[in-house]
Amino acid sequence: MTTSSPHTIFHVDMDAFFVSVEELFDPSLKGKPVVVGGQRDERGVVSAASYAARKFGVHSAMPLRTAAKLCSQAIFVNGHPERYREYSAKVHEVLGHFSPLVEMASVDEAYLDMTGTERLHGRPLRSAHALHAAMKSATQLNCSIGIGTSRLVAKVSSAKAKPNGVLWVLPGQEAKFLAPLDVGAIPGVGKVMEQKLHALGIRQVGDLARLEERDLEQRFGKWGLALAGKSRGLDAGGWFDNAVGENVDAKSISHEHTFNEDTGDAERLRSTLMRLSEMVGRRLREGGYFARTLQLKLRYKDFTTITRAHSLEEPTQMDHQIFEQARRLFFANWKAGAPVRLLGVQASNFESGPGQMDLLEPSRDARWQKALAAADHLRDKFGESAIGLARGMKGGFRERVHENPAALPGSSKKKNE
């Protein structure tokens, strides 16, 4: 982003989104300590907590069982991803009335480039309040809005505006606004980086801004350089540099599953890999992606986790090819019989289309494509359980797919909700 004529960026963040949506479906939840993400005795983490629950120390990403201990009277609610998608679409629609440049950063937050909309919508604070009101009347949901000259400043200020507020950081005031905040407030600075900075006596963003760029680069490489810019309110590094609304293609598609209880049952593990492979294949076909690299993820009881990848000669989007690699990688690396906590399958390294078809048997791939298209169609029509391409499921057993809100990107928030 250039400095010549400052951009006006809005960051719109829905307040306690999952909880608020659940309240619309069950108004009796209002005002109570509510935890969304699963039941109190389940393996899993909190996707969202109501403000009443947060008073007990419950927060996103915390194990459900811990939340139950902290707040025994909390009401535990399973997530409903389809509801969140539905409301996310409503949110998106409202935002579209305010700027053509809207970018949903996750289900419950978005960036808007409001540069040059003043003639239509008025000054930033005025349009933000109009947006806030329009959001409430269209969705019955509260949001908070941060306004700044960069994504970074808009995002940090929306966090400061919570709950249900609007905050505008005037052009030129970015460094002053950020200076007193803890370094952990900078998006991209997590626990590890925060500790490293604290160890150097750097606690606030202002401390960071006073350092020489070169020193930061020497100590932290590329990321150090970006950090120097961020401390002054600039969008530096990675995704932040993209223009708002710019379409970015997916880089990977993955599915993973944590078992309710660890299992060393080879047949069960195999059938889970099959199901995950089908889910990945399905999404590849929906998106029109062909993947060259397939990766297996394996987590044991003690949480040690390995990933093993393999790149194919020709990219694929077909279930059986994905499964073939996942299965091979699994049985080549699994300590046979060892209890497994999690399995995952990931596709990446996308290319635009399939390469050479099988010359010896040109009809083979085509037949598969056709069969899969038909299966996808049936699933669309009758639901996920209508059909399984899973062959050789001797146990006759499939792990049940249970709808978890966390399956949505942007489902939990470690901070700043």
Residues identified as active-site: 109
Q: List, in sequence order, the alpha helices (H) in 213-265.
A: 213-230
* Residue whose C-alpha is closest to residue 372's, from 291, 306, 292, 277: 277
Nearer to DNA, 84 or 177 (CB): 84
Q: Does 278 bind DNA (CB under 7 A)?
A: no
In this complex, which beta carbon is closest to DNA, that of residue 62 or of residue 117?
62
| Shortest CB 56 distance to DNA, Å | 14
In whole angstroms, what is the distance from residue 145 CA to residue 147 CA? 7
Radius of gyration of the chain (CA): 24
Single out the segment in contact with DNA by CB under 7 A; choices: 136-144, 167-175, 316-324, 341-349.
341-349
| 8-state DSSP, 400 | P
- Smallest separation, CB 279 to DNA (Å): 7
188 touches DNA by CB under 7 A: yes
Which candidate, 140, 137, 115, places its Cα nearest to that of 127?
A: 115
Residue 404 interacts with DNA (CB under 7 A): yes or no: yes
| Residue 257 is a binding residue for DNA (CB under 7 A) | yes
Count of residues in contact with DNA, rule CB under 7 A:
72
Q: Between the CA of residue 16 and those of 56, 84, 124, 288, 415, what are the distances in Å?
A: 16, 12, 24, 34, 12
Residues 283-322, interacting with DNA (CB under 7 A): 283, 292-293, 295, 302-303, 305-311
In this structure, are residues 253 and 332 in contact, taking their beta carbons and an 8 Å threshold? Answer: no
Integer Cα distance of 18 and 53 in angstroms: 13
DSSP 71-96: -TTPEEE---HHHHHHHHHHHHHHHH
DSSP state of 32: S
| Span of 25-33, 132-140, 191-199, 359-367 interacting with DNA by CB under 7 A | 191-199
**φ and ψ at residue 386, rounded to 5 degrees:** -65, -30
Pick out residues in 211-230 that bind DNA (CB under 7 A).
Answer: 221-223
Residue (59 or 117) nearer to DNA, CB = 59
Q: Closest distance between DNA and the C-beta of residue 355, in Å? A: 12
Q: Residue 22 or residue 117: which is nearer to DNA going by CB?
A: 22
Q: Among residues 301 and 367, whose Cβ is nearest to DNA?
A: 301
Longest dimension (CA), the chain: 68
411 near DNA, judged by CB under 7 A? yes
| Positions in 50-109 near DNA (CB under 7 A) | 60-61, 63, 65-66, 69, 105-109
Report the amino acid identity of residue 288. G
Question: Least Å distance between CB 267 and DNA?
Answer: 19
In the numeric block, which tokens belong to residue 373? 């298209």
339 scored as a contact of DNA (CB under 7 A): no
x/- mask, DNA, residues 115-154, rule CB under 7 A, reads ----------------------------------------
Q: Which is nearer to DNA, 35 or 117 (CB)?
A: 35
Interacting residue with DNA among 89, 133, 138, 250 (CB under 7 A):
250
Binding to DNA (CB under 7 A) within 162-181 occurs at: none
- Nearest residue (CB) to DNA, 5 versus 305: 305
Instruction: Using alpha carbons, list the distances in angstroms from residue 196 to 63, 93, 204, 206, 213.
Output: 26, 42, 13, 16, 17
Binding DNA (rule: CB under 7 A), the pick from 47, 127, 150, 271 is 47
Q: How far is the CB of 162 from DNA (least distance, A)?
A: 12
**Binding of DNA at residue 11 (CB under 7 A)?**
no
Integer CA distances (angstroms), 206 to 45, 75, 153, 223, 229, in order: 34, 41, 14, 17, 12
